[in-house]
Amino acid sequence: MTYCLGIITRYGLVLAADSRTNAGVDHISTYQKLFNFSDTGQRVILIATSGNLSITQAVINSLNQDLKLVERENLHSLPTLYDVAQYVGGKIRQIQSQERPWLEKDQIDYRTTLLLAGQVRGEAPGLFMIYSQGNFIQATPEMPFLQIGETKYGKPILDRTLTYDTPLEEAAKSALLSIDSTMKSNISVGPPIDLVMYEANSFGLRHQLRLRSGDSYLAKMRHLWEISLRQAFERMPNIEWEHTEAEEIGNED
* Tens-digit pLDDT profile for residues 35-79: 999 999 999 999 999 988 888 999 999 999 999 998 899 999 999
Structural domain spans, the chain: 3-236
123-133 pLDDT, tens digit each: 999 999 999 99
148-174 pLDDT, tens digit each: 988 898 999 999 999 999 999 999 999
The pLDDT, as a whole number, for residue 189 is: 79
Amino acid present at 126: G
What's domain 3-236's architecture? 4-Layer Sandwich (3.60)
Residue 23 pLDDT > 50: no
Cα–Cα distances (Å) from 239 to 11, 236, 247, 251, in that order, read: 41, 9, 15, 20
CA distance 41 to 77: 14
| Residues in CB range of 8: below 8 A, 6 or more apart | 117, 125, 126, 127, 139, 144, 145, 164
Residue 230 pLDDT > 60: yes
User: pLDDT confidence of 250, banded at 50, 70, 90?
Assistant: low
68 CB-contact burial (10 Å; exposed 0-12 / middle 13-18 / buried 19+):
exposed
Segment 22-28 shows an average pLDDT of 56
Q: Is the pTM of this model over 0.85?
A: yes
